[in-house]
Amino acid sequence: MKIEFSGATEGEAPLTWGQRLMWRAVHLMGASQNYLNCPFVFPVYGRKDLSVVLDALRVLIERHEALRTTFSDAGQRVFRDGVLEVELVEAGTDRGLRVADRVAAEMAHIVFDHGAEWPLRCAIVLKDGRPFALACVFTHLAVDYQALALLAEEWKALLKGAALPPVAWQPRDQAGLEASDAWQARSARSIAYWRDVLADVPLDVFDHPPGEPEDPRFIEVIMDSPALAVAATRLSNRLTVSSTSVILAACAEVLAEVSARSRVVMQLVHSNRRDARTRGMVGTVGQDALIVLDRPEHDFAEFCRTTHRAALQAYRNAHYDPAAMTVMREKAGGHDLDAFFNDRRAAPGWPALPPDTDLSVATTRTYTKNAWPGVRFKVFFTVGADAGTGLLSLIADTAYLPRDTAESMLRSVETRLVGAV
């Protein structure tokens, strides 16, 4: 099946700061860059004909330049017209959404050819011949998780036959804004903040030398802990700081313990959609913030407040030209900064958490989900987007953190949070 699209615009522009961050990441990760692919499933609501579903997808592509863009060192190139191949997959006796998740995940295994391929791959999952879901994978150069949430809302509206307002802000507009004097000044201020922080922190995340890694070397361990969600919510309410800051504080303490250091330096993945114009933009806006925390002796509540203040300062300094930042970081000594924290929740809290969930850790489980040969993170904590349970994952470089240590770090985060309530 093919979709022929014809948008209203075309043209070229430099990469945005968000795109530059991803461009660097896909090159650093090489064959493991499929880690950065974004699989996503759009359910088909109600009984819709295939033509309606294909039409909705066509409109999304025509509306959003990011979905008809190719990327190169030279910048972003937006095409007005094109053809996208869409595979049809019959679910058979399997559950439709499960098949859609599987198809999206399979498509996500394959690395994008960013300069020659559309930034999304799509398949429509059919159940008894009727469209059940649209399974997609996007390159992270085109979308972030906020963009996917925007697309999901538009998808729902388009299937209902609603007319959408024109898109007011596209990545090429963002690239123009970032070249302005005001935004260049903002970039310079952020880089100065990073320079000050880096002047007083170790070059490496860990002092100990690498050991014998697993094969593949990088693993993702996940903890499913309803108790973590309850504890973080209660602490957040009591301390009047975000649940993100509470979990970040616990992760930082655990990292400090494992690295046997009192000072912890982490990069925070930050959505960065603080400019109102970017809130409705389909694109990748996120950049990394830099936080430095000194572990207190006893008081976890006070550490949560300190973390919250430090995170605010870090987020504020997450608007910068990644190329200029790279130059500064190399001059500063080439710190690895390979410890990360990301909160993928679209909104604060866990609104779908069952109301009778308590602080019991009896149902907590940990499991390994993914492994890659070269994602290059030493420590990467991620709060999952599931609104019905507390999901915390840890990507670990097994040369520095053996699997058992990674699992016990997640459990230690839970223990700290539950114990502090």
Distance of closest approach, residue 217 Cβ to other proteins, in angstroms: 33
For other proteins, the closer of residues 170 and 271 by Cβ is 271
For other proteins, the closer of residues 33 and 317 by Cβ is 317
From 265, 44, 232, select the one nearest 156 (Cα to Cα).
44
For other proteins, the closer of residues 192 and 421 by Cβ is 192
For other proteins, the closer of residues 179 and 185 by Cβ is 185
CB 307 within 8 A of CB 252: yes
**Phi, psi (5° rounding) for residue 127?**
-125, 115
For other proteins, the closer of residues 311 and 409 by Cβ is 311
CB 115 within 8 A of CB 45: no
Distance of closest approach, residue 92 Cβ to other proteins, in angstroms: 43
Sign of CA dihedral 366, 370, 373, 376: negative
From 47, 92, 68, 48, select the one nearest 3 (Cα to Cα).
68
Distance of closest approach, residue 421 Cβ to other proteins, in angstroms: 19
Task: Provide the CB-side half-sphere exposure for 65 (13 A, CA).
Answer: 25
Distance of closest approach, residue 192 Cβ to other proteins, in angstroms: 12
Instruction: Name residues whose C-beta falls within 8 Å of residue 339's C-beta, 6 or more positions apart in sequence.
Output: 205, 255, 264, 265, 266, 267, 377, 378, 379, 380
Write out the H or E segment, with its range, that includes residue 358: none
Return residues touching other proteins (CB under 8 A).
182, 240-242, 244-245, 271, 273-276, 279, 308-309, 311-313, 315-316, 348
d(CA 57, CA 131): 13
Distance of closest approach, residue 358 Cβ to other proteins, in angstroms: 24
d(CA 315, CA 266): 12
CB 205 within 8 A of CB 100: no
- CA triple 266-333-271, angle to 5 deg: 30
For other proteins, the closer of residues 130 and 309 by Cβ is 309
Distance of closest approach, residue 275 Cβ to other proteins, in angstroms: 7
For other proteins, the closer of residues 248 and 396 by Cβ is 248
Distance of closest approach, residue 237 Cβ to other proteins, in angstroms: 9
